Amino acid sequence: MNEVISKLLVEHQNLGKLVGLLDRFPANRNHPTLDDITLLADVLSHLTCFPDIRHHPVEDRIVASLRPRNALLDDVGYEIDRQHQVLARQGADLMRDLESAAREETTSWPAVAGNARPYAERLRHNVAVEELALFPVAEEVFSDADWNAIVP
């Protein structure tokens, strides 16, 4: 297996573990403990920063390199692009809502927890699409020179 794909798969596993922590945040808790808030802030901070800054750009370059070769179905490339955009927007909204709830402003804790769940599911879906429809095609089509262009 190509080392870029191997690294992306390990990152997917790590992101999955963090998403699992989101699942355990109680949706009906109006007054979470400081530990709950800290854990949620740390998890959301990583989930909303690392993929958008380091992980998704690599996948986006893979999609962009496969498109002109007609090696990837247009629907798959479009779907991955759209997922990355929606995840970035949802992640920013979640961080804003988390801050609002922590300051006891306009967002409630149940709303934060409730919004975290669709974000987690969207991230899981994104991982599945990439692992099933993107990575195998890239593995088959790309040469070493192509991979070097993806991750300089």
Which range scores top for mean pLDDT: 34-48, 110-124, 126-140?
126-140
Q: Is the confidence at residue 51, as pLDDT, over 80?
A: yes
33-48 pLDDT per residue, tens = 788 888 888 998 999 8
Stretch 2-31: mean pLDDT:
86
Domain count of the fold of the chain: 1
Q: Is the confidence at residue 104, as pLDDT, over 80?
A: yes
67-93 pLDDT per residue, tens = 999 999 989 999 999 999 999 999 999
Residue 111 to residue 135: CA distance in whole angstroms: 35
Residue 148's alpha-carbon distances to 7, 29, 60, 75, 152, in angstroms, are 14, 48, 15, 26, 5
Residue 138, domain extent: 3-150
Q: Which pLDDT does position 7 carry in this prediction?
A: 96
53-69 pLDDT per residue, tens = 999 999 999 999 999 99
User: Is residue 95 packed enough to be buried (19+ CB in 10 Å), middle (13-18) or exposed (0-12)?
Assistant: middle
Average pLDDT, the chain: 90
Q: Which pLDDT does position 102 carry in this prediction?
A: 84
pTM for the full model?
Answer: 0.89
For the domain that residue 124 is a member of, what is the CATH number?
1.20.120.520
Amino acid present at 111: A
